[in-house]
Amino acid sequence: MIAELQCVVLDCADVVELSRFYQALLGGVVNQPDPRWSVGDGWATLHTDGLVLAFQRVEDHRPPRWPDPARPQQSHLDLGVDDLERAQEDVLAQGATLLDEGDGKRSWRIFADPAGHPFCLVRE
């Protein structure tokens, strides 16, 4: 095992509105203090009993239009790791592509899976 699922991140235009929608469906706490994420205008979280959903504001968000491939689903996974360097080596060996290594100070890096879906490795 390389990583642990931390949360599923959904792109949207309004992070508060979407987090409140899912809170009404699933219960939980919106923007519960958590050292893994910084909440603000562009980011919100919903902590439920076993899952964290995160909501990421995207400028000019165009909602998916199921099943239109021209407007695909918009989400990514955050995967928690103890050792970011080692996990990077491991996911690259499994066929991932590094998309954004950051400035070396961030606690996460962005990759694409072999089919092109983005995911983040996040140092726990």
pLDDT digits (tens, 9 = 90+) for 61-120: 999 888 898 988 889 999 999 999 999 999 999 999 999 998 878 899 999 998 888 999
Residue 3 domain flag: no
Domains: count for the chain = 2
Pair (53, 25) in one structural domain:
yes
CB 110 within 8 A of CB 120: yes
Q: What's the pTM value of the predicted model, to 2 decimals? A: 0.84
pLDDT of residue 66: 84
- Average pLDDT value over all residues in the chain: 92
Residue at token pair 């990077």: 88
Domain of 106, in residue numbers: 73-124
Q: Does pLDDT of 38 surpass 90?
A: no
Residue 87 domain flag: yes
**CA angle 121–56–123, rounded 5-degree value:** 20
Residue 2 domain flag: no
Q: Is the Cα dihedral 108, 5, 77, 96 positive or negative?
A: positive
pLDDT of residue 72: 86
Q: Does pLDDT of 50 surpass 90?
A: no
pLDDT of residue 8: 95
Pair (49, 79) in one structural domain:
no
